[in-house]
Amino acid sequence: MDANAIIEKLTSELLEKNPNLSVGKARTWIELLWSDFETTYAKAGYEYRGAEYTQRIIRQWIESYGEKIHEFAGRNPKYAHLLDESDDSLN
């Protein structure tokens, strides 16, 4: 499975968990989580374990935090722009 297909699947999983997100915002969250995880993992000196590993970690985060991820953005100014739904329609 290529990275784009994995991102699409994880986006769908996040949307199932959190109906407060639009498709675009859910995809943005998945891409952000993916990038942040891989960057942090590499900076910590760990060897790259592949897309399947990253997918597994993000899936765990979706299960644990997915339904409230929009609340996290509201409390964190770094991600506040993700709450702006004016340019994105729900599903």
The Cα–Cα gap between 35 and 12 comes to 18
What are phi and psi for residue 20, nearest 5 degrees?
-75, -10
Which pLDDT score is estimated for 84?
62
Domain ranges of the chain: 3-83
What proportion of the chain, given as a percentage, has pLDDT over 90?
54
Amino acid, single-letter form, for residue 91: N
**Rounded mean pLDDT, 28-47:** 91
Label residue 70 by pLDDT band (50, 70, 90): confident
Report the predicted TM-score, pTM, of the whole model to 2 decimal places: 0.80
Which pLDDT score is estimated for 91?
46
- Cβ neighbour number for residue 72 with a 10 Å cutoff: 12
pLDDT digits (tens, 9 = 90+) for 20-34: 899 998 998 899 899
